[in-house]
Amino acid sequence: MTLVDEVSASVNDNEINVTPRDSSKRSHAMWGMQRSLLANLVTGVSEGFTIRLDIVGVGYRAAIKGSNLELQLGFSHNVVFPIADEVKIECPSTTSIVVSGNNKQRVGQVAAEIRAFRPPEPYKGKGVKYADEVIFRKEGKKK
């Protein structure tokens, strides 16, 4: 059974209507998934998606050099991340990165790949974190 068998869509008067073919649980699951995929496509074309990353740590920086994002994250070398064609990366300051584009999945994937270089650690909070992410801090060792 394919997705086409589960969901039907109709277009009229600048509206897209997605309806399940029957009342099975799988049809309703596929209905919701197709509705959200179409909604993300429309939002991506009309507004676009943006994810903001913050860099926390002494000496941690980001800069755009040509078609690469260059990160200084406390390693012995700079991390060079090539910027894909379908996303746009900006550095409004040395400690913030803005990833934007019209494909929600690709924007999220690029932001996650950048964050994975140095995820925030729970003791000092250093690393690359999402702007709206809350880092739960742990207490250090006691004497």
pTM over 0.95: no
pLDDT at residue 4 is higher than 80:
no
Q: pLDDT class for 2, splitting at 50, 70, 90? A: low
Of the chain, the percentage scoring pLDDT greater than 90 comes to: 66
| Rounded distance between C-alpha atoms, residue 24 and residue 8, angstroms | 14
- When pLDDT is averaged across residues 10-20 and rounded to a whole number, the result is 79
| Rounded distance between C-alpha atoms, residue 110 and residue 128, angstroms | 13
Q: In the structure encoding, which two tokens stand for residue 94, read together?
A: 């040395």
Q: pLDDT class for 3, splitting at 50, 70, 90? A: low
Q: In the structure encoding, which two tokens stand for residue 9, read together?
A: 């869509």
Beta bridge partners of 130: 53
From residue 116, alpha-carbon distances to 24, 30, 80, 112, 127 in Å are 39, 31, 13, 6, 9
Q: In the structure encoding, which two tokens stand for residue 57, read together?
A: 């740590």
